[in-house]
Amino acid sequence: MVDRVLPKEQVSAFLDYLRRRYRLWAPVAQGGGFVFAEIDHPESIRLDYPTTMLPPKAAFLPPNEILLSIDMESLESAPPPAEDKPIALLGVHPCDLHGLMRLDMAMREEPSDASYVSARRGALIIGLACVHRCRPEAFCDSMETFRGAAGADLYLTPIEDGFWVEVRDGAEESLADAADCFRPPSDRQKREKDDINRQIDLEFSGRRLSLETLADDLEKTYTSSYWAKLADRCFSCGACTAVCPTCVCFDVRDDLAGGCKTADRCRSWDSCLLKDFAAVAGNENFRPKRHQRLRHRMMRQGSYLAKRFNLPAFCVGCGRCPAMCLGKISPLEAFEFSQKGRTVHV
């Protein structure tokens, strides 16, 4: 890890560098909120954003994509041409950095997903420290995902003079041509950054789950009537999975295109909350009831995938799903239910 400072007056030069070398994605204001979008005009970038409606997942796993096209005459398949430049994701908050790491684990688990690997290849992830809570629904404090540079190639902390930049070992190379933008940090700047980190710890002090036991605790609630009660508030709409940084379930379908000359194999996000998700031909549905589907998602987030990838939890506590949910269902309430009476306040 190397520490640098990106002075305010160098920010626009750095953005120019990023745009030359990468397809730059960053948060912008849109529709009364914020979204990660590909940047045409750097002045539209809003690094002061609280959180985005959708996580940065879409940069590497788009809501809809064509995996391959099959020529209907020759029956030969070809993937779509690769993009000429890799993606740089700028301004990713810690919860979403944790989300991207989990997305990587799921999509790169052998055999790794070719389309994802291709979109992710050479990407530069630039994290941005969260100094304030973004919304009341967020529970990154409980999930302990509110801090840290893990998963980022560069990690920015806003300071008075600009940004403190932690450069991951091995990432200096991708900055070689932008070296002029950075300065060695001064002692004063170091003290300021340390102060900010202490403020962050204070800001996000609060509830903590017992993360070491969460996966097992949650599975013990499997037969509880709690899930049916919770499902009274669930509309099975799938909004929670659509806004989730770690939900990776998808559907694959074949569509005719180009005047029926080609068949496109298309992938789109899917949701385990939707009624037909586990249905098979012949009218069999392996999760026909709403509470079964809601419980399945919570278990995936709190237990199944956590165990699979040896993590405390797959959920990162970003707070998007409770904010989006019509019934205000939060994974936190399910997680806390499973650890009733054992929530720790710090």
Partner 1 sequence: MFDFIPEIANVTSVRPVTATETLYHIRLPNRPLGHLPGQFVQVSLPGIGEAPISIASAPGRDGFDLCVRHVGNVTEALRRLRAGDCVGIRGPFGRGVPLDEVMGRNVLIIAGGLGLAPLRSLIQYILYFRAKFKKAAVLVGARSPDALLFSKEYKAWRQDGDIDVRVTVDVAKAGWKGDVGVITDLIPHVPLPPADTVSIVCGPPVMYHYVLRTLSRLHQPQDHIFLSLERRMKCGTGKCGHCQINGLYVCREGPVFRYDRIVHVPEAVS
Nearer to partner 1, 201 or 276 (CB): 276
Contact 207, 344 (CB under 8 A): yes
List, edge to edge, every strand of the sheet that includes 87-92.
2-7, 162-167, 154-159, 124-128, 87-92, 23-30, 33-38
Residue 81 is a binding residue for partner 1 (CB under 8 A): no
Selected binder of partner 1 within 299, 311, 318, 329 (CB under 8 A): 299
The DSSP bridge pattern shows strands 284-285 and 279-280 to be antiparallel
Residues 128-147 within binding reach of partner 1 (CB under 8 A): none
Answer yes or no whether residue 240 interacts with partner 1 by CB under 8 A.
no
SS3 state at 131: coil
Choice between 1 and 280, CB closer to partner 1: 280
Task: Report, in Å, the least distance between residue 35 CB and partner 1.
Answer: 25
Task: Tell me, rounded to whole angstroms, the distance of Cα 262 from its chain centroid.
Answer: 33
Please tell me what DSSP assigns to residue 168: P
Buried b (16+ CB within 10 A) or exposed e, 328-345: ebbbbebbbbbbeeeeee
Query: Taking contact as CB under 8 A, which single stretch among the options 68-76, 178-186, 188-196, 232-240 is the one that binds partner 1?
Result: 68-76
Separation CA 238–CA 151 (nearest Å): 28
Q: Toward partner 1, which CB reaches closer, 176 or 280?
A: 280
List 67, 211, 228, 239, residue binding partner 1 (CB under 8 A): 67
Residue 24 found at the interface with partner 1 (CB under 8 A)? no
Q: Among residues 2, 29, 82, 114, which is the contact residue for partner 1, using CB under 8 A?
A: 114
* Interface with partner 1 (CB under 8 A), residue from 1, 176, 260, 346: 260
Where is 118: in which H helix or E strand? helix 114-120
Binder among 63, 79, 80, 288 for partner 1 (CB under 8 A): 79
**Min dist. Cβ of residue 316 to partner 1 (A):** 18
- Residue 63 engages partner 1 in binding (rule: CB under 8 A): no
Do the Cβ atoms of 128 and 47 come closer than 8 Å? yes
Residues 6+ away with beta carbon under 8 Å from 175? 154, 167, 182
Contacts of 173 (CB under 8 A, 6+ apart): none
Does residue 111 bind partner 1 (CB under 8 A)? yes
- Of 87, 106, 128, 156, the one binding partner 1 (CB under 8 A) is 106
Nearer to partner 1, 72 or 211 (CB): 72
**Does residue 58 belong to the site contacting partner 1 (CB under 8 A)?**
no
Nearer Cβ to partner 1 (199/224): 224
How far lies 142's CA from each of 54, 206, 293, 320, 323, in Å?
Answer: 21, 8, 24, 15, 16
Kind and range of the H or E element at 68? strand 64-71
Which residue is it, tokens 């962050």?
200
Question: Among 248, 273, 329, 332, which residue sits at the site for partner 1 (rule: CB under 8 A)?
Answer: 248
Residue 309 CB, shortest distance to partner 1, in Å, is 11
- Complex with partner 1: residue 253 or 345, whichever CB lies closer: 253
Cα 26 from Cα 13, distance rounded (Å)? 16
Which is closer to partner 1, CB of 33 or CB of 288?
A: 288
**Total site size for partner 1, rule CB under 8 A:** 50
Residues that bind partner 1 (CB under 8 A): 67-68, 70, 72, 75, 77, 79, 106-107, 109, 111-115, 117, 222-223, 248-256, 260, 263, 265, 267, 270, 272, 277-282, 284, 286-287, 296, 299-300, 303-305, 307-308
